[in-house]
Amino acid sequence: MTDQASAFASRSVSECSLALKGRKARARDRGEAPHIRFAHRDTNSFRQALNGRVDAYFAANGKTRFADRGFWIEAAVLTAVMLGAYAALLGNAFGDRFGPWGSLVPALVYGLALLVLAMSVAHDAAHAAVTGNGRIDDAIQRAVMGLLGVDGYLWRLRHNGSHHAFPNVNGSDIDIDENPVLRLSPNHPWKPHYRFQHLYAPFAYMLTLWDSIFVNDLKYLFKRDLANMRGIVHPRREHVKFWLFKLLYLTVNLILPLAFVQLPWWQILLGYALVNAAVSLVFVVLLVGTHFSLEADFPAADAAGRLDTSWAAHAVSTALNWSTRSRIAFHLTGGVNCHAAHHLYPRVNHVHYWALTRIAEQTAREHGLTFHEASFTGMIASHFAHLRRLGRGPVPPRNGGWWLRMSMRIPPKLLFGVYRAFY
C-alpha cells in the first residue's frame, strides 16, 4: 500500500465512521441530551480492527466514500421511471382503455419508484454521502423527501441526531419512543391494547406515511424536546421551507391529478389513499424488522446513564441484516438491508455496503460479537413474533371473539413457524 493510499484510507474512515472524539460538541450542536453514554470505547478492539480493514478496502479499490457511477445510473433510471409514470398518469395514457385501473397503476408505479429513490438516494444525501457537498446533498434529500411528503430537514434531524446516536435505547431513539400504537421495545411499559398489536400492525403500517406527512411533521416542527434531543429551536427559514414543501407535495399528488386525470374526484382521492397506503406498507415492511425483531438487542442504560457496551458493538447488536447476498434486495432498499454496515458507517454511500457487510460480519465474529442475519421472510416473521411476544400482558385476555382467543393462545413458534423455516 502506498503512502498516498494509506493516507486516503485513513481519511476515509475518519470521515465515514462516527468517531467518539468530539461527540459532546456534536451533541451540543444538535441539542442532544448528554446523559446517555457508552461505558466502553471499544469492545475487544472490534472497532479498531474493523476500521483497519475498511481502510484497506478503500485503499485497494481507490474509491471514495461518496457515490460512484453505478449510483448515478440507478438514480437516473429511478427518476425516469418516476417521471414517466407521473406523465402517464396526468396524460391519461391508459385511462381511456383501462378505466380507473389505467390511472391507478401509473400512480402506484410513481409512488413506488419515488419510495425507492428516497431509500437509495435521499437517505444517502441525508448522511452527506452522495457528493460531499453539503448544499447539493441537502437539496437532493429535501427534493426527494418533499415529493414523498415528509419534511427532509426534520427527518434528517431526528434520524441522524437521535436514531443513529442510540438505536433501540429508551428515551434516546425517536424511532421507538412516542409510539402509542405499538410496543416496540421490551423496556417500554405494557398497555392492554398491545396484546392485539401483532394483528393490527399491518393496518397501522398502511397509515405510517400519512401520519408522518400530516401529523408527526407538524408535531416535530413545534416540539422543543424529541427523545434525546433537548431545547430544539428551528430557524425561521425552516418554517417557511416546511410549508413550501407541503404545498409542493399537495400540488403534485392531489391538485394536478384532480385537474388533469379524467376521473371523478372521489375516484382520484380513493386512488391517492390506496397508493399512499401501499407505499407506506412497503416502506415499513422493508425496514421495520432491521431493529424491531427477536434478534435485535434493546439495551437499557444504568442509573448513571451508561450503556455497558461500546458504540460499534452496540451498532452491530441492535441491527438485523436481511438477504445481504441478494442484489435485488440491495438495490431496492438502497443497501438498508445491510443494516449493521449502515449504522457503523452512515456517512459512506450505500454502494459500499455490499463489501463492508462482509468485512463487518467477519470482523464481528472474530471478536466475539453476534452478527444478526436472516432472509427477507425470516426478518418479517421475526418482527411479528417480536410484536406478539411484547404484546403479551401480565394477565391473559378474557374477552374477545374466538379468533382473538386463539391468536393469543397459539405459541409464537407455531404462529410464526415460517420464521424457523426460512431463517
CA distances (Å), origin 261, targets 30, 87, 109, 253, 266: 44, 11, 16, 11, 12
Q: Looking up cell 397503476, which residue turns up?
A: 105
Residues 348 and 205 in one domain: yes
Q: What is the mean pLDDT of residues 122-131?
A: 96
Residues 324 and 411 in one domain: no
- Residue 186 has a CB neighbour count (10 Å cut-off) of 12
Residues 278 and 404 in one domain: no
Residues 413 and 309 in one domain: no
Residue 5 pLDDT level (bands cut at 50, 70, 90): very low
Residues 65 and 178 in one domain: yes
Beta-carbon contacts of residue 6 (< 8 Å; ≥ 6 apart)? 55, 59
Strand partners for 306: 37
Asked if residue 105 has pLDDT above 70, the reply is: yes
Average pLDDT of the residues of the chain: 85
Cell of 117: 429513490
In tens, the pLDDT along 9-65 reads 334 443 444 333 344 434 444 444 447 888 888 777 899 999 999 999 999 999 999
Q: How many CA atoms lie within 13 A of 114 on its CB side?
A: 27
Has residue 22 been placed in a domain?
no
Q: What region, left, alpha or beta, does residue 335 occupy, with left being phi > 0 and alpha being psi -120 to 50 degrees?
A: left
pTM over 0.95, yes/no: no
Domain C-terminal end among 355, 372, 389: 372
Residues 400 and 311 in one domain: no
Residues 234 and 380 in one domain: no
- Which amino acid, one-letter code, is at 255? I
Has residue 194 been placed in a domain?
no
Has residue 314 been placed in a domain?
yes
Residues 134 and 262 in one domain: yes
Residue 6 pLDDT level (bands cut at 50, 70, 90): very low
pLDDT of residue 366: 94
Domain coverage including residue 408: 376-422
In tens, the pLDDT along 345-388 reads 999 999 999 999 999 999 999 999 999 999 999 999 999 999 99
As a whole number of angstroms, the distance between CA 226 and CA 29 comes to 15
Residues 382 and 241 in one domain: no
CA distances (Å), origin 53, targets 41, 183, 357, 383: 18, 38, 12, 32
Has residue 23 been placed in a domain?
no
Strand partners for 229: 32, 226
As a whole number of angstroms, the distance between CA 209 and CA 155 comes to 12
As a whole number of angstroms, the distance between CA 393 and CA 332 comes to 37
Residues 110 and 37 in one domain: yes
Residue 180 pLDDT level (bands cut at 50, 70, 90): confident
Three-class SS of residue 200? Answer: helix
Residues 410 and 288 in one domain: no
Overall domain count for the chain: 2
Has residue 26 been placed in a domain?
no
Residues 289 and 405 in one domain: no
Beta-carbon contacts of residue 98 (< 8 Å; ≥ 6 apart)? 105
